[in-house]
Amino acid sequence: MSTTVRDTALFGLVAVLLIGTGIIQGWNSALLILNMGLISAIMALGVNLQWGFAGLFNIGVMGFVALGGLAAVLVSTEPVPEAWQAGGLRILAGLVFGALTVVAAVQAQKRLEGRVKVIATLIILVGGFFLFRAIFDPAKVAIEAVNPAVSGNLGGLNLPILLSWPVGGLLAAGAAWIIGKTALGLRSDYLAIATLGIAEIIIAVLKNEDWLARGVKNVIGLERPVPYEIDLQQDPGFVERAASLGLDPVTASTLYTKMGYAILFTVVLLILLWLAQKALNSPWGRMMRAIRDNETAAEAMGKDVTARHLQIFILGSAICGIAGAMMTTLDGQLTPGTYQPLRFTFLVWVMVIVGGSGNNFGAVLGGLLIWWLWVQVEPLGLGLMNILSSGLEDGSAVKDWMIQSAAHMRLLTMGLVLLLVLRFSPRGLIPER
Amino acid sequence: MDFLNAIVAFANFVFVPGLAYGAQLAIGALGVTLIYGILRFSNFAHGDTMAFGTAMTIWITWGFLALGISFGPLPTALLALPFGIVATILLLLGTDWAVYRFYREQKASPVILVIVSMGVMFVMNGVVRFLIGVRDIRFADGERFIITAREFKEMTGLNEGLAIKTTQAITVVVALIAMALLFWFLNKTRTGKSMRAFSDNEDLALLSGINPDWVVKVTWMIVAALATTAGVLYGLDKSFKAFTYFQLLLPIFAAAIVGGLGNPLGAIAGGFVIAFSEVTITYAWKKVLVYLMPESLEPDGLVQLLSTDYKFAVSFAILIIVLLFKPTGLFKGQSV
């Protein structure tokens, strides 16, 4: 079987799985899985860029995804004028001052020598921290006191939410630049721990800085790029067309909005996939793989390894940020409490490894396939447990326990899939070529 | 008197909790550092190994309690700990046989082993959830306090009380015993010496007839014992929740790296460095400062440098600072 046929067959398998879901569980579920699958595929594309192309071990995907979500809030919500009056400028001043402190400390590190360097850096950092708190804290308190039940934050720019997708990418890229500057010189597993930590910190910031995006009070009811179901149901033209297709207006409207998202997401995915393919097959992509395979040799050829690593780290993180903004758009809300590393970092890694690291199509396939599995394992597990425990009496402790534990099948299955692929097909379903 | 009050407040809110937390992190970090030194990879499944050991210990504790066995004033979990360790040893040896052995024989690069350990982490996380669910479980029984704040106040007549929980004292004592045993084993026994030799120079160790399979097996056994002990101590002191144990991975790795990966002494030092910085930076110092400052200078706010939710940021900041300025850690660790 030629490789093209095999790859097409694998994507055909995903299509069959989705269509099967549509027929058995309803098209709404199938589209729901497809939409998150498309977003997951984009995240996988980002991680594949970093790991597959450059061998960078980033396990802070969750943080970049969350930054994308933050972008969706900051771009699309309406500004809160009272909050801006209460302390908007002051809080910005505080942030600028904080950034300047760090810049000053870095400069002191670079310019000064010996003991003066250490003392100066310490004075700048400690003094800067207290001054920063002195400027920042009153503004934060004032803003969070403005109508805390519905806002208590600065609000956003009131721009179309689609704009937040590129902005999410930029935000993630900015964070990646800072992280890359400090951590990329480190060894691979140190980089891993560093990114893991950064992701936790970003989530902690989102949870606690209520002035930014309301923290754990969540931002709900974000603007949507597709029409609302209720509007569609009241539109006589739409109801008529739905009826001509033999659908009732409610089902038709939900399918219509989900299809809208699916089309938007597919367009983004195709653009990014095209760009990633172009990059992979360009001299730049070959250089990246050369660096990945032998850093020393690449350095001897005059390639600036650290700069190239920084570049691709930023690009991959930006893609994760875009995906994060898209996901928050799809959910219509930002809930920092729901970001968990197993779901947003390690699952994406399973997607990349299973799909095939170093191959963009592999990453996309992994994203779609693993997401389908992640969603379906629970009902499948429940069915399995029902069959296994069917011989037992109703209400017996063992049976209850078996039925309950079906809810925990997901992690176990993902781990087993990852281990089996690593063992028997370490290059993934669609390997690098 | 004010000065004494300040010291007692400091001891009660910073020193004692920090010491217990530091001991827990240190034992956890010892496991990470041993795996790094001998098997040469960062084991991401360590947090979940701790969770597994603790979950098994909790089940056995419940079994003991159901049989009416208890440990008097001490928590029953201490009696169950050896059984929990045995269960974890079996799990880790099984995992090594089924998963890691293959990659070791292939001489796979460390980063592949890290990814493999990610898979093991998923599986163990699932197993723990199967075993015990995701609830928050408290399993400390026996006496809660060695000395309560009220007793201390009555005894000394100070304004501030010093409460010492039984679990805190147990943590420190058990940690000391575990560390002493580990260092005795590594420095005095034949197997321990061969482990150190293997860690220093694998080829040379093989050349001098050290059996690598045995070294690896013993390492997993020790790691299982350390991970279970750390997990049970942490769970006794706070509570058991599968997800919290997964999150402990970050401070534990920070401790191991700060101390120098592969260096057991460093892991212990790193554990205390991380714990004390987390506690001091996220503690509201007002309570101590009111006794030290003249009344006019008394602080208005809580004098808390960072809110407790940022404790990850603290371990992380220390990690980055150490890595940037002393990449091999405070004590010289290995750098592969």
Query: Which residues does residue B284 pair with via DSSP β-bridges, in sequence order?
Result: B304
Give A346's contacts in chain B (Cβ within 8 Å).
Answer: 118, 121-122
Q: Are A211 and A152 in contact (CB under 8 A)?
A: yes
Which residue of B lies nearest to A179 if distances are taken between CA atoms? B320
Give B254's contacts in chain A (Cβ within 8 Å).
Answer: 193, 197
Contacts of B190 (CB under 8 A, 6+ apart): none
Give A201's contacts in chain B (Cβ within 8 Å).
Answer: 310, 312-313, 316
Reference B76, options B103, B58, B50, B91; nearest CA is B58
| Residue with more model confidence, A24 or B293 | A24
- In tens, the pLDDT along B219-248 reads 999 999 999 999 999 999 989 998 889 889
Nearest CA of chain B to the CA of A318: how many Å?
A: 22
Q: Are B276 and B24 in contact (CB under 8 A)?
A: no
Average pLDDT of span A172-193? 86
Average pLDDT of span A176-182? 89
| 3 state SS of B137 | strand
Give B299's contacts in chain A (Cβ within 8 Å).
Answer: none
Looking up tokens 């860690």 gives: B199
Give B315's contacts in chain A (Cβ within 8 Å).
Answer: 197
User: Does any CB of chain B come closer than 8 Å to the CB of residue A147?
Assistant: no
Instruction: Suggest the residue from B43, B130, B302, B325 to mutate for an interface test with chain A (most A CBs closer than 10 A).
Output: B130
Given the cut 0.85, state whether the ipTM is greater than it: yes
Percentage of residues of chain B with pLDDT beyond 90: 51
pLDDT at A401 over 90: no
Give A190's contacts in chain B (Cβ within 8 Å).
Answer: 257, 323
Which chain A residues in 164-203 lie under 8 Å from chain B, judged by CB atoms? 182-183, 186-190, 192-194, 196-198, 200-201
Q: Can you tell me the distance from the alpha carbon of B242 to that of B54, in angstroms, rounded to the nearest whole number?
A: 9
User: Does any CB of chain B come closer than 8 Å to the CB of residue A299?
Assistant: no
Which chain A residues in 9-68 lie under 8 Å from chain B, judged by CB atoms? 55, 57
Which chain B residues in 251-280 lie under 8 Å from chain A, judged by CB atoms? 253-254, 257
User: Does any CB of chain A come closer than 8 Å to the CB of residue B173?
Assistant: no
Q: Can you tell me the distance from the alpha carbon of A364 to that of A207, in angstroms, rounded to the nearest whole number?
A: 31
Name the least confident of A133-142, A316-325, A390-399. Answer: A390-399
Residue A78 DSSP label = P
Which pTM value belongs to this model?
0.92
pLDDT of A12 reads 95
pLDDT at B336 over 60: no
- Provide the token pair at B122: 């998923």
| Residue with more model confidence, B262 or B82 | B82
Q: Are B148 and B161 in contact (CB under 8 A)?
A: yes
User: Does any CB of chain A come closer than 8 Å to the CB of residue B111?
Assistant: yes
pLDDT of A1 reads 60
Contact between B130 and A408 using a beta-carbon 8 Å cutoff: yes
Contacts of B300 (CB under 8 A, 6+ apart): none
Which residue of A lies nearest to B326 if distances are taken between CA atoms? A186
Percentage of residues of chain A with pLDDT beyond 70: 100
Give B115's contacts in chain A (Cβ within 8 Å).
Answer: 349, 353, 418, 422
Nearest CA of chain A to the CA of B9: how many Å?
A: 24
Contact between A204 and B310 using a beta-carbon 8 Å cutoff: yes
Give A422's contacts in chain B (Cβ within 8 Å).
Answer: 112, 115-116, 119
Q: Are B142 and B76 in contact (CB under 8 A)?
A: yes
pLDDT of B117 reads 94
Q: Are A213 and A346 in contact (CB under 8 A)?
A: no
Contact between A57 and B114 using a beta-carbon 8 Å cutoff: yes
pLDDT of A18 reads 94
Q: Can you tell me the distance from the alpha carbon of B32 to that of B17, in angstroms, rounded to the nearest whole number?
A: 23
Q: Can you tell me the distance from the alpha carbon of A159 to that of B2, in angstroms, rounded to the nearest whole number?
A: 58
Instruction: Suggest the residue from B36, B105, B122, B252 to mutate for an interface test with chain A (most A CBs closer than 10 A).
Output: B122
Average pLDDT value over all residues in chain A: 90
Which residue of B lies nearest to A137 if distances are taken between CA atoms? B301
Reference A50, options A214, A385, A289; nearest CA is A289
Instruction: Suggest the residue from A126, A144, A190, A374 to mutate for an interface test with chain B (most B CBs closer than 10 A).
Output: A190
For the four alpha carbons of A47, A53, A57 and A58, in that order, the dihedral sign comes to negative
pLDDT of A8 reads 93
In this complex, the residue of A57, A204, A419 whose CB is nearest that of residue B309 is: A204
Give B96's contacts in chain A (Cβ within 8 Å).
Answer: none
Q: Can you tell me the distance from the alpha carbon of A169 to that of A167, in angstroms, rounded to the nearest whole number?
A: 5
- In tens, the pLDDT along B143-192 reads 888 888 888 888 888 888 888 899 999 999 999 999 999 999 999 999 99
Contact between A186 and B315 using a beta-carbon 8 Å cutoff: no
Contact between B250 and A200 using a beta-carbon 8 Å cutoff: yes
In this complex, the residue of A189, A196, A422 whose CB is nearest that of residue B110 is: A189
Reference A47, options A404, A397, A344; nearest CA is A344
Which range scores top for mean pLDDT: A42-51, A373-382, B255-264, B291-300? A42-51
Contact between B319 and A409 using a beta-carbon 8 Å cutoff: no
Contact between B110 and A408 using a beta-carbon 8 Å cutoff: no
User: Does any CB of chain A come closer than 8 Å to the CB of residue B78?
Assistant: no
Which residue of A lies nearest to B323 if distances are taken between CA atoms? A186
In terms of DSSP bridges, do strands B145-147 and B164-165 run parallel, antiparallel, or are they unpaired?
Answer: antiparallel
Residue B240 DSSP label = B
User: Does any CB of chain B come closer than 8 Å to the CB of residue A408?
Assistant: yes
- Provide the token pair at B259: 């101390």
Q: Up-side HSE of residue B44: CA atoms within 13 Å toward CB?
A: 25
Q: Are B6 and B292 in contact (CB under 8 A)?
A: yes
User: Does any CB of chain B come closer than 8 Å to the CB of residue A353?
Assistant: yes
Instruction: Suggest the residue from A187, A340, A398 to mutate for an interface test with chain B (most B CBs closer than 10 A).
Output: A187
- In tens, the pLDDT along A316-350 reads 999 999 999 999 999 999 999 899 888 899 999 99
Q: Are B89 and B53 in contact (CB under 8 A)?
A: no
Which residue of A lies nearest to B131 if distances are taken between CA atoms? A405
Which chain B residues in 300-329 lie under 8 Å from chain A, judged by CB atoms? 305, 307, 309-310, 312-313, 315-316, 319-320, 323-324, 327
Q: Rounded to 10 degrees, what is the CA torsion of A373, A352, A355, A417? A: -50
- In tens, the pLDDT along B39-77 reads 989 999 999 999 999 999 999 999 999 998 888 888 999
Q: Up-side HSE of residue B313: CA atoms within 13 Å toward CB?
A: 14
| Residue with more model confidence, A16 or B3 | A16
pLDDT of A17 reads 94
In this complex, the residue of A194, A341, A419 whose CB is nearest that of residue B123 is: A419
Q: Can you tell me the distance from the alpha carbon of B265 to that of B33, in angstroms, rounded to the nearest whole number?
A: 10
Give A182's contacts in chain B (Cβ within 8 Å).
Answer: 320, 324
Look at phi and psi of residue A330 and say left if phi exceeds 0, alpha if psi is from -120 to 50, else beta.
alpha
- In tens, the pLDDT along A265-290 reads 999 999 999 999 999 999 999 999 99
- In tens, the pLDDT along A206-264 reads 998 888 888 888 888 888 899 888 888 888 888 888 888 888 888 899 999 999 999 99
Q: Can you tell me the distance from the alpha carbon of B143 to that of A42, in angstroms, rounded to the nearest whole number?
A: 54
Nearest CA of chain B to the CA of A146: how many Å?
A: 21
Average pLDDT of span A400-424? 87
Give B327's contacts in chain A (Cβ within 8 Å).
Answer: 186
Nearest CA of chain B to the CA of A330: how many Å?
A: 27
- If residue A347 lies in a helix (H) or strand (E), which one and from where to where? helix A347-355
Q: What number of other Cβ atoms are within 10 A of residue A289's Cβ?
A: 17
Q: Rounded to 10 degrees, what is the CA torsion of A400, A401, A403, A407? A: 140
User: Does any CB of chain B come closer than 8 Å to the CB of residue A298?
Assistant: no
pLDDT at B9 over 70: yes
User: Does any CB of chain A come closer than 8 Å to the CB of residue B127?
Assistant: yes
